[in-house]
Structure 1
Amino acid sequence: MTPVPDDVRARLHERTTQLWAADGVVDLGIGQPQDAILPVDVLSAAMAATAASGRPHPLQYGIEPGDGDLRVAVSDYLEPHYGFCPDPEAAFVTNGNSQAIDLVVGTLTEPGDVVLVEEATYFLALDIFANHHVRVVPVAVDEGGIVPDALEEALRAHRPKLVYVVPSFHNPTGATLDDRRRERVVALAAEHGALVVADEVYHLLSAPAPGQDPLPGNGSVMPRPMAAWAPSGAVLSLGTFSKILAPGLRLGWVHTSPDLARRLAMRGFVVSGGGLNPLVCAVVARSLADGSAAAYLGRLRGILGGRAAAMDAALREHLPADVMWATPGGGYFFWLRVPADVDLTVLRAAAQRAGVDFRPGTLFSVDGGQTDRLRLSFAYYDEETIVRAVAALGRAFATVRG
């Protein structure tokens, strides 16, 4: 037998994560957590305890809606953040929000159906919608998120099946819908026979308020999660551990009505393969039950809050006065508006030569708009590196403006 060649082994050993920056470039476009802040200690202890328990059920095919212990643990975990306890019997366990979006669209739409999205929106969701051959229609946003009047107009004109929103610390804009807009979005969608798909990936990542300990429950006062409307059947609230524990867990949940949860659980691949990720479910459920996941979230919010503050201060110091942004209250992202005389393609090339990168606004647009916008992430680098990278971006601005 011929073994795998050494060069192939080396190549595959090195290529272990989805994204990485080019040598010599600080890529502020990367929207994932830094390796150094991942909770290796929390998950190692939970894995060891799960293995030591001797319980065989995590090694079996799981029940279709997902591990019951995890669904209960998630509801208990969310209760202090949400202000209510989501119904664990109306929850469905997913492999994370990307798979959840794919599953929801595959279950609830047919090719040619319309899905409304914010303009701008999470760009990789657009690929998922394209895979299902649905028609994506953009809806205007402002500094407060999706504009209800524009949503109402789009609902009347297009009769969509779904309205996809990122309601808290939006990707890419950083905006958060207030309670009044959330209520109106849900009411408008229900009035026109559409379901709201709420990607609540960043809801728990509010930055601690000045002078407060970075513990769960402290920090900025959050609006009600969209999960508050899940029992009505008008909303599917998608949650994930990718940002609050680790992306590699590939684990999340959907809170919705019991009927919609049953429809998701009856998909062919779920029935054939059983509940998703039962071994990881058991590990994460243990970390939730023993409090270690909650303690980690407190530390994480403090880290991200510090990085957001460092980026905000560096932007004020190093970027031209006519570059505009709203400081986000949490999440991962800053959304910058650049002056009309700055070509983003030219700016990005200059930034890369200066050792920094970003994501251009056009990437997040349904129809090629957002040409005066760019997204920066503060999740992947420490504060010192962020400050250095923003200073390089400032030099790139100076280069393109002569």
Structure 2
Amino acid sequence: MIVVEPAPVPPLAARARSVGGSPVRDILAVTARPEVINFAGGLPAPELFDVDGIAASYRAVLAEVPERALQYSTTEGEPSLRAALADRTSVRGLPTDADDVLVTTGSQQALSLLATALLEPGDVVLVESPCYLAALQAFAFTGARVVAVPGDGDGVDPAALEELVVRERPKLLYTVPTFQNPTGRTMPADRRAAVASVAARHGLWLVEDDPYGELRFEGERVPWIAAHPGAEDRTVLLGSFSKVMAPGLRLGWLRAPAALRRACAVAKQAADLHTPTVNQLAAARYLADRDLDAHVARVARVYGERRDAMLAGLADALPPGSTWNRPEGGMFLWARLPESYDTAALLAQVVRQDVAYVPGAPFYAGDPDRSTLRLCFVTETPERIGEGLRRLGRGLGD
């Protein structure tokens, strides 16, 4: 009998071999033990979910329109939900029709659809420094070249942005201008106007991601970049229910000019046909029957108390010479230790104290600042935040 060795299967696509997984997910897998005080996650606080209201919305649509709730839907999204999202956007200062909106399976899918619709291998994408990690992954997966725009505590520097646009001829700029992930910073209105002006003068798509903007604890709301003159025909606004309702619904949306929105709808047809119908109808019913704004205000008050608890203990927890910001909302705080510290190298000894953070280095498209770290303050009580910071201090001091 002749034994024939089987031939190897063909290799994975180059993009699948070149783009790694999320370091944040890897850290969360290590820190899942209940005794760990976890400042590493990007999860909303589960005890604040409106479980009763969401459950009532599902019961209503399954009792009243089961034949619709359990059926296929249109790729663009359920009309009732698109209309409700358009109304919420219009009330906040950006006139929007239901036809301007495409419902997505979380705003992460919106990023993937935009990357598919806009980017060819070798295209240049400009991002903030540091930048939301999953956006870096989505853009890299297309073979695009991701370039960081220098900035400061207020976000991207418009002058540096213009210089890069002229030199690199990018397709788009991606930004989270309000309570950014990972830094928690917010771009002021005058800088948003300057960014819109650069895009209008030089021909640039703007992707404005806003998953945290409603979670404001203090200060005044800053209008979207999409609402500034010059940005109307080139800005894609992304939104999500993940941080204000529940991430398990997997409901996001994008508002985009017609041609790009249609291209994203075609890409979505190829990806998943449509976002689950029952989830869309339940969300639309929730918006009709409940006061989401009041619920978000309650969540924001709790998050504000937790931010204050973290700010109160940082001076004792971090080494002398450390700096950090004071976010006006959102879920994250950004800290920088003295230059000699490498937060990735220190993480293992910190985790031995049963506390965790996310090192800052993975959030950089260019050269990373290895002394930085992201702290999420929303999923622990003020008491556990205080204890977690004491543990963090011990871990950093070992």
TM-score tier after normalising by the smaller chain length: 0.7 to 0.9
Amino acid at match of 1:296: H
Please list the CA deviations of residues 306-354 of structure 1 after superposition, one character each: whole Å capped at 9, or x if unmatched.
1111111111343344210111001111100101232324432331122
Q: Distance in 1 between matches of 2:345 and 2:259?
A: 51
1:337: which partner in 2?
Answer: 336
- Shift of the 52–161 alpha-carbon distance from structure 1 to 2, 3 Å rule, reads same
1:384 Cα deviation (Å)?
1.4
Matched residue count: 369
Q: Matched residue of 1:41: which SS? A: helix
Question: What is the aligned partner in structure 1 of residue 38 from structure 2?
Answer: 27
Over residues 150-188 of structure 1, what are the superposed CA-to-partner deviations in whole Å (9 max), with x where a residue is unaligned?
A: 111110111011111111011111111111111111221
1:199-348 equivalences in 2 (<5 Å): 199-207=209-217, 209=218, 220-228=219-227, 232-267=232-267, 269-270=268-269, 274-348=273-347
2:359 counterpart residue number: 360
Q: Which residue of 1 aligns with 2:393?
A: 394
- Whole-angstrom distance in 2 between the partners of 1:77 and 1:47: 21
Checking the alignment, whether the CA contact within 8 Å between 2:344 and 2:361 is kept in structure 1 is: no
Which residue identity is paired with 1:109?
L
Cα distance in structure 1, aligned partners of 2:123 and 2:311: 41
Alignment-mate amino acid for residue 260 of structure 1 = L
Distance 1:345 1:285 in 2: 42
Identity of aligned residues (%): 36
> TM-score when scaled to structure 2?
0.87
| Deviation string, structure 1 residues 241-288 (Cα, Å, up to 9, x no partner) | 111111111111111223322222233x42796432222110001111
Correspondence for 2:4: none
**Residue in 2 aligned with 1:112?**
122
SS of the residue corresponding to residue 136 of structure 1 reads strand
Q: Does structure 1 conserve the Cα–Cα contact (< 8 Å) formed by 2:225 and 2:231? A: no
Query: Which of these residues, 68, 79, 103, is aligned with residue 79 of structure 2?
Result: 68
The one-letter amino acid paired with 1:285 is A
Deviation per residue, 1:337-376 (Å, 9 max, x gap): 1012323244323311222111111111113411121110
Match among 181, 187, 201 for residue 177 of structure 1: 187
SS of the residue aligned with 2:352?
A: helix
Question: Is the contact made by 1:288 and 1:294 (CA closer than 8 Å) also made in structure 2?
Answer: no
Tell me how far apart the structure 1 counterparts of residues 250 and 202 of structure 2 sit (CA, whole Å).
34
What root-mean-square deviation, in Å, do the aligned CA atoms of Structure 1 and Structure 2 show? 2.0
Distance of 2:157 and 2:383 partners within structure 1? 37
- Whether the 8 Å CA contact 1:203–1:225 is kept in 2: the answer is no
TM-score normalised according to structure 1 size: 0.86
Amino acid paired to 2:239? G
Show structure 1 runs of 5+ residues with no match: 1-17, 210-219
Displacement of 1:385 after TM fit?
1.2
Q: 1:96 aligned to 103, 106, 128, which one?
A: 106
* Structure 2: distance between partners of 1:285 and 1:387: 39
Is 1:227–1:255's contact at 8 Å kept on the other side of the alignment?
Answer: no
CA-CA distance at 1:52 after TM superposition: 1.8
Flag as ranges the 4+ runs of structure 1 deviating above 6 A: none
Matched letter for residue 251 of structure 2: L
* 1:19–1:353 CA distance, 2 compared to 1 (3 A): closer
Q: 1:197 to 1:176 in 2, by over 3 A?
A: same
Any conservation in 1 of the 2:173–2:204 contact (CA below 8 Å)? yes
Q: Which runs of 5+ in 2 are unaligned?
A: 1-26
User: What is residue 15 of structure 1 aligned with on the other side?
Assistant: none
Q: CA deviation at 1:135?
A: 0.6
